[in-house]
Amino acid sequence: MPKDMLLEIKDLEISLLVESHMVNIIDNVSFDLKFGEVIAIVGESGCGKTVTSQAIARLLPRELKILSGKILFYSKIDERVLDVCKLDPKGKTIHYIRGDQIGMIFQEPMSSFSPVYTIGNQICEVIRLHQKVSKKKARNISIELLDTVGIPNPVAAVDQYPHEFSGGMRQRAMIARAISCNPSLLIADEPTTALDVTIQAQILVLLQELQKEFGMAIIFITHDLGVVAQISHRVFIMYMGKIVEEGSVHDIFHNPKHPYTENLIHAIPKLGNLRERRRLVPIRGNVPSIFDELHGCAFHPRCKFFMPDKCDVHFPKCKHLTSNHSVWCYLYE
């Protein structure tokens, strides 16, 4: 792995075990992440983006198994590269990576904290788990963190319970907990989906500021391209467990190559369109079920450029258009 790489995922395959059947959820996914880089993984619900992110911290539920591939992560404590896939998910190593070097925030701020402990208790716990500090010190760090993420009156907030917080405040507190040990990687799994639009914008700005201040790398999991445009450096478009296009934000928005990416971009409402009374263009058809056996490119039943005997036979090879813009589609072969 190159020196400036924090994370490198190689040919990751994850399967779902259903009554002794194996269904591939993640198929041959590869990507990498430099220190301090922000990337976004975009796709519809069920495309495997959350599974990918949970695999990085080995938080997959029991039914999901990593079949093959590598997840290489530079651990700053060991000062070496670890293959997360090879770690025991209940072992020591993964436990000091989680929370300490990989912080995570989740989609539902309302239920990400336990309702029976104070916010402070749940943040201090993480700090004291990974750092040798006194209770009092941990409490002070928690107050500072709450202040950093923009919670008003952090001294009082530290002793409050989650039900006394609004959704946006809880997501801020969640972020405070995730960054409490200064992780080198922050995984944000749809952090703004459950919030209303103004709060969404605030949270994104906050994450951006924190990223600049602490310099951690962020993986954004989202289905919202607007979020992506605002914050990330590189974008990966995922469909049915495969990456179909990757590129810079500029490439993806202004020069989308894969028909799926193109369709996604057209499905974003724009203010200008309202005046012209132009309708949004939905992607025809539905996301297929993971149990449908689709050969070739999984998007072919919904694709207007579908080429029989080609698209439905083998998955296309990667086509590098520029040094950092790649697409997996027969249109470009």
Partner 1 sequence: MVQILIRRTGYALATLFFVSIICFIIIQLPPGDYADAYAAKRHAGGEIIRAEEVEAIRHQLGLDRPMYIQYLNWMWGVVRGELGMSLEYKRPVSEVIAERLPLTLILAFSTMVFIYSVALSIGILSAVRQYSAADHFFTVIGYIGLATPNFLLALLLMYASHKWFGQSVGGLFSPQFQDAPWSWARLMDMLSHLWVPVVVLGTAGTAFQIRTMRAVLLDELNKMYVIAARSTGLSEFRMLMKYPVRIALNPIVSTLGWELTRVISGAPIVGVVLSLPDTGPLFLKSLLDQDTYLAGAMILIYCTLVIAGTFISDVLLIILDPRIRYERLT
Residues that bind partner 1 (CB under 8 A): 54, 57, 59, 90, 95-100, 102-104, 106-108, 111-118, 125-126, 129-130, 161, 163-164, 174, 177-178
Cα gap 146→123, rounded to integer Å: 10
Task: Supply the minimum distance, in Å, between the C-beta of residue 49 and partner 1.
Answer: 15
Task: Supply the minimum distance, in Å, between the C-beta of residue 114 and partner 1.
Answer: 5
User: Which residue, 98 or 257, is less far from partner 1 as judged by CB?
Assistant: 98
Task: Supply the minimum distance, in Å, between the C-beta of residue 115 and partner 1.
Answer: 6
Structure tokens at 111: 């239920």
> Is the Cβ–Cβ distance between 176 and 114 less than 8 Å?
no
User: Which residue, 48 or 103, is less far from partner 1 as judged by CB?
Assistant: 103
Burial class (CB within 10 angstroms; exposed 0-12, middle 13-18, buried 19+) of 272:
exposed
Task: Supply the minimum distance, in Å, between the C-beta of residue 27 and partner 1.
Answer: 24
> Is the Cβ–Cβ distance between 101 and 77 less than 8 Å?
yes
Task: Supply the minimum distance, in Å, between the C-beta of residue 105 and partner 1.
Answer: 8
Report the candidate in 270, 188, 262, 199 with the shortest Cα–Cα distance to residue 231. Answer: 188
DSSP 56-123: HTT---TTEEEEEEEEEEEETTTTEEEEGGGS-TTSHHHHHHBTTTEEEE-S-GGGSS-TTS-HHHHH
User: Which residue, 80 or 90, is less far from partner 1 as judged by CB?
Assistant: 90
Task: Supply the minimum distance, in Å, between the C-beta of residue 249 and partner 1.
Answer: 27
User: Which residue, 177 or 234, is less far from partner 1 as judged by CB?
Assistant: 177
User: Which residue, 185 or 298, is less far from partner 1 as judged by CB?
Assistant: 185
User: Which residue, 117 or 315, is less far from partner 1 as judged by CB?
Assistant: 117
Residue 28: how many other CB atoms lie within 10 Å = 16
Cα gap 102→97, rounded to integer Å: 6
> Is the Cβ–Cβ distance between 317 and 311 less than 8 Å?
no
